[in-house]
């Protein structure tokens, strides 16, 4: 069975005919061409595939594309604009939060979901938001510093 999936993907309305059993991660990578979302474990264990669905971090490898009917879906590709990195992307650069980088898109999207809700997260808040994201390079301190750096930029922008 197939479904006409209508959703807003990275700010653009889309309508696609998708198999009912198509995973969101496959829809994003293969149908929408958004390969920034990575597949690591393909089983809900690593967080590489994290995207935002209606603002909430979601494992795209555990989500059926058809379940996103009418939703707002955001991937890592939505963050940079006009060739400029987002604050979180810049934070990962500044603080060396990305090593091999494979986990990074999922980390950044999970952190994006956090910072939209909480612009002054504690270390515990950041660890909680990233608890479902595994970095095999084990550079978690730098990742936390990257999120803190971005949060600070966001607070400064909100004051200015
Ligand atoms: S690829 Fe989805 S959680 Fe690992
Ligand atoms: S930077 Fe290597 S897995 Fe995260």
Mutate to test the pocket of ligand 2, among 104, 132, 140, 144 (most ligand atoms within 8 A of CB): 104
* pLDDT value, residue 139: 84
pLDDT tens per residue across span 81-93? 999 999 999 999 9
Taken as a whole, the chain contains a residue count of: 160
Ranges of residues in the chain with a pLDDT under 50 are none
* pLDDT value, residue 159: 81
* pLDDT value, residue 54: 98
* pLDDT value, residue 158: 83
63 alpha carbon – ligand 1 mean position (Å): 10
Residues having CB closer than 6 A to ligand 1 are: 39-42, 44-49, 59, 61
Residues having CB closer than 6 A to ligand 2 are: 98-104, 135-137
100 alpha carbon – ligand 2 mean position (Å): 5
């Amino acid at each position: 069975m197939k479904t006409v999936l209508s959703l807003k993907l990275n700010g653009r309305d889309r309508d696609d005919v998708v198999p009912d059993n198509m995973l969101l991660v496959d829809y994003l990578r293969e149908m929408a061409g958004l390969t920034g979302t990575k597949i690591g474990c393909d089983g809900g264990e690593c967080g590489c595939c994290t995207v935002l669905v209606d603002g909430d971090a979601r494992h795209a490898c555990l989500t059926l594309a058809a379940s996103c009917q009418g939703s707002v879906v955001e991937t890592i590709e939505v963050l940079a604009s006009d060739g400029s990195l987002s604050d979180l992307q810049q934070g990962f650069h500044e603080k060396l939060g990305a090593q091999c980088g494979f986990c990074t898109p999922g980390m950044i999207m999970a952190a994006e979901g956090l910072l939209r809700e909480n612009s002054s997260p504690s270390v515990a808040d950041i660890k909680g938001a990233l608890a479902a994201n595994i970095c095999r390079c084990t550079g978690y301190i730098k990742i936390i510093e990257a999120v803190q750096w971005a949060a600070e930029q966001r607070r400064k922008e909100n004051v200015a």
